[in-house]
């Protein structure tokens, strides 16, 4: 319908120039479903704490594809066979790996569409696009699903050392300014190799990998699980829980058509219709609605909305042990009394946060010695940190309306 | 009404840690009118070309305040007298200098509220805030208006070397990735001084200033006037021009309450009401509306909206000479025929772009020699570039619906 | 005797501008004993592996002084009392902390002057300078020796968190290009505090400290104990061991006067004379001599010299267990036969390398919680890495002439 | 004779990893004549002003070779035909382009060996190496001399846009910390192209080139012609002028054998012998000698040497007009009287410094438009700075012993 001002090179402050390798990739990027990612923030409500963290899923997807191009070049130079068709497949797979994200990425996942996670939606959308692109995404989908014979290609899309993580860690560190999380993807990629269809790391890269594993830990505790943005995300989820309840009870809330669909609908429609509505959503539907909902007569909804719009966030604490149910009940009661509402549970929330810095059993990282033998990294004689990163760390996050601090 | 999780230090990828110096500044930042700047992109539709350029006015305002703190420290260390009250005033002034920006910053300026530019709105809003803060902003307002006796304080807020520019050039270069525009604000600030109530530059800083002047030129031509994002801004303005026409003809368009106010209203209300509505707006109102308008039956509005949402932008060219009216008319006719509409003027637009790299007459930069004498920079014997930057460069930008390239 | 072109600001690629705070500091920097540090490489023979690593002790000393200025500003802003006299003392102490280094820093330590380490020589030289500067260094020396009542000032000069380490880690990482060792001194300094005369870290800085501890580990294994430069250092030491033997047996070797003094002398002179000669030495004496010694008739000396000049270095390996004496003897015999010499011990060397990432018993790091209570970092509930860094890592380094690979 | 610990990848803080592409390049780097460049500072006495500027010719040569690899990859990707043999030739040519530099690079050029510049010596040494490498450098030499049919290969080695300049500007900016001189070689290289055997720039790269031209200007005035290091270089030249006079008058000065050869010799020997001695020299010969010469009885030599060793440099000024001979004579007389010597000319020196920011006539830069047409950059409609960079800037530098400031 429309015509296009073809942009073949993107200027990325993180990786420098990102070039679009071919027409198919260009057309995917240009597709409305993909353009929509421009309006979805990569890091949800992290910007409440780190104001620079406004970068989009669109930007991340381009960055991951750029790193994939580098990984392919590197592996080919090391005589790993990757055909042009496979290259194209793995580039499309990484480009589309997050296409199923909705507004605020992980935050509203499983809230707007219940019981459906973004990986699954990504796959559905890839299949829809594959229809539009006459089957050109066949191989990409196979790789994405792990059904292609060269398994290392799937590992490049999804594993401990995939291009997704290399991009998002670097990018999120860059935009938040959390320098402890800075990694060097170029360096890591330059040490990748393939042995027996397994993605491995040349031994000279062992310290880059150990640094990467520690950087990821720092990002988990300083950014992804930051207690303040975590609280904001809890409140956002609660606001939507409330909005859905009100809608399904017959109240009309301000919303775009697509958002209204998800507030009212109980998922009786078929999946195609749901996905069609889903791909119309982005962060702006949510922000615009929250702004209007500030003035709604339901105290719970309006209070939660105002907190988010004005960034007046709840008390938020980290503990080594969980809070008892009695204590939680007590905090709920305080909120109830304070706001004059019937259900305080919207304003008190506990979660446990468990991070395994390096999960050796689930997705081990192999170091390839000069004699081509493989060793799991924490068992290499060269390692200086990995064996210390095997144990999970578990903490508990509590957020609640602190009625005493209220203004 | 709500309570606050006090954040005293912001992590800024551009300047590092930004600390909030006192309670008043903290309270201003926390005010809903200021928090709203979180949802206004600093660089309008530049993100259409530079996907990293999503940073907010909020972030810029904090950054400029941070630089102001440094400037004050530097000047005090050079024995320039600045009282604590003046420090506070100038910090508030820079923090609020852009508070009057609406959605998409400059793009919709003068479109939503006609004949009222952001500087003027900033001043009105500062005065409203001053009421809420019991006159604590008196001095800030005086400095902002240039009515305070120490004129150099006003120059720190608004002049060729103000903290506004030092922040936005650095920040926009950082987030776009246009390294040609990178400057070093710390270094420039370290060379600032005051002589006879004039903000001047110590002679050792002359090359930093010359580099800054050239970096600004690069930003003007590579970013601020980039032909593609410029076109997107033209289309956005046209979409709003159309939406207002339709609204005032009685059509009901999807919009938040506040946005509806500006679409329908012909500014008969008093200023207070207008400002109240204005401070409810941000980028999300615009994006959410454009998404809905894609499906409106008016071809002009829906076509423009779709172009913006899907990033299918018009042909966009730069010329040294203006295009004739005949040629423009011809292009309009093509659009008319192609879309089957009655007025093609929404789809063809010419602007002239004039940049004076260094406007010596309007706001000269003075170099202070070691003997304390002042010299205008382009007349200093040390200069190597400034005298070449005095002449304006003028080019012409044309964007139009290229019906032949249409898909 | 001479006159001076006063340079008050140094441009440092690592920290930006370094300014000289007062006349005394300026005069110390200008002193020939200090200027000599310009010609002593900070990282010995590390440049054999990392060609960028040519930076000098002079540069490091300035950098550490610069960080000390920042630390003092930060602590004063947190209401830690530091008088101007104390500031001056601690600045002089850090500036001179390494003045006792000789050619190639640590490498030839204890070889040229036996049984005398650089800290001791630094102290002697500070006392000599104190004489020249009429006692102006009294307080600096007290602080350096740990005899001043405010012990935290000594900690700023020498402890786990001293300005020496903050500068050299950052600087060595910068010049080698080993990004895994990159730290952020500004950030770390901004979290320093003093409690009960103890240098402590505000709890918000805990991750910066943990990152710093891991960065140090990376530098130890990737740079300071790099097996190749380590081998070069072994050969350099052996070359000087041989040169001293030959000299003391009456042979005349090419050398500058000062170097000849240390080759021939058996330290019968008094300390003043020794120090006087010592302060004439720098890296150039060594390089110039090695070049001439390449052509000396003693095979051991000429062979070692050629290896260093032409960078043809010995085999170099890291093991988890020590090599047996039998194996070492065997390698020595091979070298003996190969070169036709009587003593192969110059060409085979084993060392053990033991690194304690964080030595909690020797110099614990304390975190200060918001309630002002102190906790040793590995015992803090916030820690995510420190408790993993308490155990020493020990490895064994072997270098030897690999006669089979010989060209 | 010796054996080698093969290093195939260098870690460069400027460009990241530099890999050695093949065995021949490896062997050249390993050659003693090339290893010697490790001990020759790239920027002469610039370290007197910028203490970080200690990087070597060795490092620069590797960096330029690295950029050449990138340039070749880029051009090949744009379908410019470059055979593997040509690639090898141009890599060797850039690697060896500065092999003819002696101690302190440009400073002592034409002083040690009179009437012979480094380009000429580079060529002689390349021919000698070519003998050792059995003619493998034939093509490299042809390219270096501009005698190869594909002229653009010579342009990559030596022209306005050669890899030599791209590396040294970036590198010198990095190590001095003069950020005004920072350029982005990757970006510039990505815009290079070849048209009609001419090295050209794709039009999208025009601003990168304009930035590069201004960066170069900044480096000329802030670094290469910095008045203080310039003075030091004048004094170094004068010290050698004096040392040669004394030597040729029969005095014996401390020196290594190779340096003694150049002090005494009047170039009666054949070139091979001269070059053999020349390749033994590096900065250490000079520093070691200056240190000894401080104590020589000749006042002129000892005074100049002490100034350099202790960094007590002469008065140094920049003027727009030359100083008259009368004034120079006066200053010489002051020096004569002050030092009690017969000839004051060693202590007073005037030079003119002429910089043409962009010399369009000598080596024009061509922009290739999208239609493949070429335009000289200052004539392109896109240019915003180049036409301002055509005029030469000339200044005059005076240094002299300021007897009044003497201590």
What is A9-225+364-384's CATH number?
A: 1.10.3210.10
Residue B212 to residue A21: CA distance in whole angstroms:
35
**Does the pLDDT of residue D134 top 50, yes or no?**
yes
Q: Which pLDDT score is estimated for B384? A: 87
Helix/strand/coil (H, E, C) string of C209-245? HHHHHHHHHHHHHHHHCCHHHHHHHHHHHHHHHHHHH
- The residue-averaged pLDDT of A66-92 equals 96
Q: What is the pLDDT of residue B36?
A: 97
Q: Rounded to 5 degrees, what are φ and ψ at A16?
A: 85, -145
Q: Does the pLDDT value for residue D121 go beyond 80?
A: yes
Mean pLDDT throughout A130-157? 97
| pLDDT at residue D114, as a whole number | 76
B92 vs A169, B65, B71, B133, C392, CA distance in Å?
35, 8, 14, 12, 52
For the purposes of burial, counting CB atoms within 10 Å of the CB of C85, is it exposed (0-12), middle (13-18) or buried (19 or more)?
A: exposed
What fold does the segment set D9-225+363-381 form as a domain? Hypothetical protein af1432 (1.10.3210)
- At residue D149, φ and ψ (nearest 5 deg) are -65, -35
- Tokens, residue C325: 């004496």
For chain A, percent of residues with pLDDT exceeding 90: 80
Residue range D191-242, pLDDT digits in tens: 999 999 999 999 989 999 999 999 999 999 999 999 999 999 999 999 999 9
Kindly list the partner chains of chain A, i.e. chains with 3 or more CB atom pairs below 8 Å. B, C, D
The distance of D174 to chain B (nearest Cα, Å) reads 14
Ramachandran bin of A92, using left for φ above 0, alpha for ψ from -120 to 50, beta for the remaining angles: alpha
pLDDT band at residue A14 using 50, 70 and 90 as cut-offs: very high
Cβ count near D361 (within 10 Å): 7
Judged by DSSP in three states, B167 sits in helix
For residue range C115-135, list pLDDT tens digits in order.
Answer: 777 888 999 999 999 999 999
Most confident listed range (A267-276, B194-203, C108-117): B194-203
Question: CB–CB of C177 and D307 under 8 A?
Answer: no
Which tokens in the block code for residue A360?
């050796």
CB B27 within 8 Å of CB A308:
no
Strand, coil or helix: B340: coil
Of residues D187, D218, D388, nearest to B388 (C-beta): D388
pLDDT digits (tens, 9 = 90+) for C318-337: 888 999 999 999 999 999 99
Instruction: Report the Cα–Cα distance between both ends of chain B, in Å, rounded.
Output: 54
Element (H, E) at D118: helix D118-132
Task: Give the model's pLDDT for residue A2.
Answer: 34
Tokens of B287: 């994006």
CB contact (8 A) between residue C288 and residue D291 = no
Tens digits of per-residue pLDDT, D354-395?
999 899 998 899 999 989 999 999 999 888 888 888 988 899
CA distance D226 to D176: 12
Q: How far apart are CA D123 and CA D129, in angstroms?
A: 10
Q: By C-alpha distance, which of C155, C130, C163, C159 is closest to C61?
A: C163
Q: What is the DSSP string of B34-81?
A: HHGGGGSBTTGGGGGT-TT---BHHHHHHHHHHHHHHHHHHHHHTT--
Average pLDDT (B315-334) is: 94
Q: What does the alpha-carbon distance between residue A85 and residue D284 come to, in Å, rounded to a whole number?
A: 57
Phi-psi region of B31 (alpha: psi -120 to 50; beta: other; left: phi over 0): beta
User: In the structure, how many helices (H) and strands (E) does chain A have?
Assistant: 16, 9
At C12-66, the pLDDT tens digits run: 999 998 989 889 999 999 999 999 999 999 999 999 999 999 999 999 999 999 9
Q: Are strands C16-19 and C9-12 parallel, antiparallel or unpaired?
A: antiparallel
Instruction: For domain C9-225+366-384, give its CATH number from 1.10.3210.10, 1.20.1240.10, 3.40.50.970, 3.40.50.150.
Output: 1.10.3210.10
* Residues D4 and C405 sit within 8 Å (Cβ to Cβ): yes
* Mean pLDDT on A361-383: 92
D179–B184: do the CB atoms touch at under 8 Å? Answer: yes
Label each residue of A22-56 as H, E or C.
CHHHHHHHHCHHHHHHHHCECCHHHHHCCCCCCCE
Mean pLDDT score across all residues of chain D: 92
Distance CA D234, CA B32 (A): 64
Secondary structure (H, E, C), C258-276:
HHHHHHHCCCCCCHHHHHH
Q: How many CB pairs under 8 A join A and C?
A: 44
- Cα-Cα-Cα-Cα torsion C222, C227, C231, C237, nearest 10 degrees, comes to 50
Residue C394 φ/ψ, nearest 5 degrees: -125, 130
Are B176 and B55 a contacting pair, CB within 8 Å?
no
Closest Cβ–Cβ partner in D3, D56, D59 for C407: D3
Which architecture characterizes domain A237-354 according to CATH? Up-down Bundle (1.20)
* Whole-angstrom distance, CA of residue C238 vs CA of residue D245: 39
DSSP secondary-structure letter at A386?
G
Asked whether A17 and D187 are in contact (CB, 8 A), the reply is: yes
ipTM reported for the complex, 2 dp: 0.94
Q: Indicate which of B12, B190, B191, B203 best probes the interface with C, i.e. most C CBs within 10 Å of its own CB.
A: B190
- Give the distance from residue A289's alpha carbon to the nearest chain B alpha carbon, in angstroms: 8
Distance from C-alpha of A17 to C-alpha of D186, rounded to nearest angstrom: 10
Distance CA C100, CA C120 (A): 7
Contacts of A51 in chain B (CB under 8 A): 10, 12, 38, 55-56, 58-59, 62
Residue B267's pLDDT is 64
| Least confidently predicted of A217-231, B364-378, C6-20, C337-351 | C6-20
User: What are residue C260's phi and psi, to 5 degrees?
Assistant: -55, -40
Q: Look at residue B272 in the predicted model and tell me its pLDDT.
A: 87
Contact D207 B221 (CB under 8 A): yes
Classify residue B51 as exposed, middle or buried by CB count within 10 Å of its CB (0-12, 13-18, 19+): buried
> Using an 8 Å Cβ cutoff, are D74 and D156 in contact?
no
Mean pLDDT of chain A: 92
pLDDT tens-place string over residues D266-288: 666 788 888 999 999 999 999 99
* Inter-CA distances, D369 with A17, D273, D364, Å: 20, 52, 16
Q: Rounded to an integer, what distance in angstroms lies between the CA atom of residue A107 and that of residue A102?
A: 9
Residue A313: is it exposed, middle or buried by C-beta count within 10 angstroms (0-12/13-18/19+)? buried
Q: Which residues of C touch D228 (CB under 8 A)?
A: 5, 7
Residue A325, Cβ density class (10 Å: 0-12 exposed, 13-18 middle, ≥19 buried): exposed
Residue A267: pLDDT band by 50, 70, 90 thresholds?
low
Q: Give every CB contact of residue A182 below 8 A, 6+ residues apart in sequence.
A: A170, A173, A174, A215, C182
> Between residues D106 and B174, which one has the greater pLDDT?
B174
Name the minimum distance, in Å, from the CA of D138 to any CA of chain C: 25
Average pLDDT of every residue of chain C: 92
Probe site for chain D from A5, A7, A17, A205 (most D CB atoms < 10 A): A17
Interatomic CA distance for residues D59 and D51, integer angstroms: 17
pLDDT tens, position by position, C340-399: 999 999 999 999 999 998 999 988 999 999 899 999 999 998 888 888 889 888 999 999
Q: What are phi and psi of C79, to 5 degrees?
A: 70, 25
Cα separation, A80 vs A72, in Å, equals 9
* Cβ atoms of D215 and D173 closer than 8 Å: yes
Rounded to the nearest angstrom, the gap between the alpha carbon of residue D218 and the centroid of all alpha carbons in its chain is 17
Residues 6+ apart with CB under 8 A from C131: none
The pLDDT value recorded for residue D267 is 64
Distance CA C94, CA C117 (A): 17
CATH number of C229-354: 1.20.1250.30
Cα C108 to Cα B167, C116, C282, D292, distances in angstroms: 49, 11, 11, 22
CB-nearest partner of B17 from C9, C16, C190: C190
pLDDT of residue D3: 34
Q: Where are chain C's structural domains? A: 9-225+366-384, 229-354
B15: its two tokens: 């300047």
Kind and range of the H or E element at D374? strand D374-376
Q: Whose CA is closest to A285, among A236, A245, A346?
A: A236
Alpha helices in A163-249 (DSSP H): 163-176, 185-190, 206-219, 227-248
The yes-or-no verdict on residue A203 having pLDDT over 80 is yes
Helix or strand run (H / E) with residue A141: helix A138-145
Question: DSSP 3-state assignment of C399?
Answer: strand
| For helices B84-96 and B23-30, angle between their N-to-C axes, nearest 10 degrees | 10
Least confident residue range of A390-399, C283-292, D131-140? A390-399
Residues A347 and A331: their CA atoms lie apart, in Å, by 8
What number is the average pLDDT over the span A377-403? Answer: 90
Q: Which pLDDT tens digit goes with each residue over B84-96? A: 999 999 999 999 9
> CB of B287 within 8 A of CB of B239?
no
Residue D163 burial by CB count (10 A; 0-12/13-18/19+): exposed, middle or buried? buried
Between CA A289 and CA B287 the distance in angstroms is 12
Distance of alpha carbon D290 from alpha carbon D302, whole angstroms: 8
| Domain D227-354 annotated CATH 1.20.1250.30 | yes
DSSP state string for C351-362 = EEEEE-SS-TTT
Task: Say which of B47, B52, B285 has its CB closest to residue A13.
Answer: B52
Supply the CATH classification number for the domain B9-225+361-388.
1.10.3210.10
């Amino acid at each position: 319908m429309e015509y296009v001002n073809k942009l073949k090179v993107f200027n990325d402050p993180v990786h420098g120039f990102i070039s679009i390798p071919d027409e198919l990739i260009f057309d995917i990027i240009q597709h409305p479903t993909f353009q929509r990612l421009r309006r979805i923030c990569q890091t949800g409500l992290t910007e409440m704490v780190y104001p620079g963290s406004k970068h989009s899923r669109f930007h991340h997807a381009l960055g991951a594809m750029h790193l994939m191009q580098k990984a392919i070049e590197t592996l080919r130079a090391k005589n790993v066979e990757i055909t042009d068709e496979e290259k194209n497949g793995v580039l499309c797979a990484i480009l589309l790996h997050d296409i199923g994200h909705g507004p605020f990425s992980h935050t509203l996942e499983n809230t707007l569409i219940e019981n459906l996670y973004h990986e699954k939606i990504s796959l559905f959308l890839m299949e829809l696009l594959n229809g539009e692109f006459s089957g050109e995404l066949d191989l990409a989908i196979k790789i994405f699903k792990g059904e292609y014979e060269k398994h290392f290609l799937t590992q490049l899309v999804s594993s401990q050392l995939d291009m997704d993580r290399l991009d998002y860690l670097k990018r999120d560190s860059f935009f938040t300014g959390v320098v402890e999380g800075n990694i060097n993807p170029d360096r890591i990629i330059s040490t990748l190799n393939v042995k027996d269809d397994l993605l491995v790391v040349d031994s000279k890269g062992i310290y880059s990998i150990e640094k990467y594993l520690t950087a990821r830990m720092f990002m988990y505790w300083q950014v992804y699980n930051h207690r303040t943005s975590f609280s904001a995300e809890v409140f956002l989820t609660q606001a939507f829980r409330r909005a859905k309840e009100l809608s399904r009870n017959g109240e009309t809330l301000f919303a775009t058509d697509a958002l209204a669909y998800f507030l009212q609908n109980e998922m009786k429609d078929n999946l195609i219709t749901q996905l069609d509505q889903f791909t119309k959503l982005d962060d702006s539907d949510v922000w615009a609605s929250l702004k209007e909902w500030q003035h709604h007569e339901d105290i719970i909804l309006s209070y939660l909305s105002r907190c988010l719009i004005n960034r007046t966030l709840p008390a938020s604490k980290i503990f080594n042990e969980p809070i008892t149910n009695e204590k939680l009940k007590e905090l709920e009661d305080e909120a109830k009394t304070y706001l004059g509402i019937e259900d305080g549970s919207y304003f008190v929330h506990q979660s446990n946060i468990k991070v395994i810095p390096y999960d050796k059993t689930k997705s081990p990282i192999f170091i390839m010695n000069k004699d081509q033998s493989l060793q799991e990294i924490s068992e290499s004689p060269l390692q200086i940190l990995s064996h210390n990163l095997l144990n999970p760390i578990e903490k508990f996050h509590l957020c609640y309306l602190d009625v005493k601090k209220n203004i």
